[in-house]
Amino acid sequence: MVEKIQKLLDEISSLDLKGKNDLESFRLKFLSKRGLISLLFEEFRGVPSSEKKEIGLKLNLLKQAALDKYNTHLIQFSETADIKETDDPTRPSHIFNFGTRHPISIVRREIINIFSRIGFTVSEGPEIENDDHVFTKLNFAPHHPARDMQDTFYISRVSQEDPDPGDVLLRTHTSSVQVRVMQSQKPPIRTISPGRVFRNEAVSARAHCIFHQIEGLYIDENVSFADLKQTLLFFARELFGRETLIRLRPSYFPFTEPSAEMDVSCKICHGTGCNVCKYTGWLELLGCGMVHPNVLEACNIDSNKYTGFAFGMGIERAAMLKYEVNDLRLYFENDMRFLDLFRTAL
């Protein structure tokens, strides 16, 4: 019987299986209920007890060798069964779509490129700031409403009653970066500060507790409001189109004087009036003004020698106007149906 086992083992090792038909014949011949190995197990019952251990071991090795060969070829033939001669076996089995930039990233990059072309550099700063950089050095009054818990996310407060320069909070605007730039650099300064900011506001179609800003700062000798207006006109036409008009309305900000709100002509109705612009022909875009002398002095810049202008805008707001999006929340929901609309905007 040992010779029969060895003969079958040699035969199994030498067999070259070409396909599924050969594999099925192999199974029927060796591994089926009436196959050669099964017949050997039946014959094994008559083996003397003294030889059972040795022959049983060899018989089990034979069966395992047949199973290993069968399973190996079964996997091999299954993987190649559906490949035709004209198919490329190295081709990926699934076609994956390439990702795309988020609309906020697209508009952020475009705004940075526009201002870079006229000499503005990019400055960045921490999102976790202190009261001194966010409020005090920007000429906010000690009890200005913006300092309240209802408007600002505080991480820690030195006093619950009075503001303190050491209060730690999430920055409410990227003007804090401008303060750091003015403290570390001497004029002339020409920089923009993009970044994420936080305000304690209810989330709605027009507001969110997290959003993105870009603020600009230009300080030098003899900088005037006319320089501010011409810079913003250039920016608006580069972002929204050459026919875009702007208008400046008087406003108030603690860190600028005089201050203004800038509107751009509605690109949907071209100034004739529609429901998007509330039939005014204008859409509010940003706030701006001449840097307040108190801010310059707080940052050790001589306000008698230097003047400057500053402006700030929400990137979400600019993207809403550029792409005619009517709900701010869409930017944060990661809905692929919405994000796929911006594949051509790269």
pLDDT of residue 124: 94
Q: 8 and 36 in contact (C-beta within 8 Å)? A: yes
CATH architecture of the domain covering 103-345? 2-Layer Sandwich (3.30)
Tokens describing residue 304: 């008698």
- Give pLDDT tens digits for 233-264: 999 999 988 989 999 999 999 999 999 999 99
Task: Count other C-beta atoms under 10 Å from residue 7's C-beta.
Answer: 11
pLDDT of residue 229: 96
Q: What torsion do the CA atoms of 216, 217, 222, 227 make, to the nearest 10 degrees?
A: 0
Task: Count other C-beta atoms under 10 Å from residue 315's C-beta.
Answer: 23
- The residue extents of the domains of the chain are 2-80, 103-345
pLDDT of residue 190: 96
Q: Concatenate the DSSP letters of all residues of 252-321 into one string.
A: EETTEEEEEEEEEE-TTTTTS--TTTTTSSEEEEEEEEEEPHHHHHHTT--TTT-EEEEEEEEHHHHHHH
What gap in Å lies between CA 200 and CA 186, rounded to an integer?
Answer: 34
pLDDT of residue 149: 67
The kind and range of the H/E element at 11 are helix 2-14
Amino acid letter, 227: D
What gap in Å lies between CA 175 and CA 213, rounded to an integer?
Answer: 9
Q: 118 and 234 in contact (C-beta within 8 Å)? A: yes
DSSP category for residue 232: H
What gap in Å lies between CA 159 and CA 237, rounded to an integer?
Answer: 47
pLDDT of residue 237: 94
Give 135: exposed, middle or buried? Use CB within 10 Å, 0-12, 13-18, 19+: buried
Q: Which residue has the tokens 């320089």?
A: 227
Q: Are strands 121-122 and 246-253 parallel, antiparallel or unpaired?
A: unpaired
Residues of the chain with pLDDT under 70: 79-89, 91-98, 149-150, 160-161, 275-276, 344-346
Task: Note the residue count of the chain.
Answer: 346
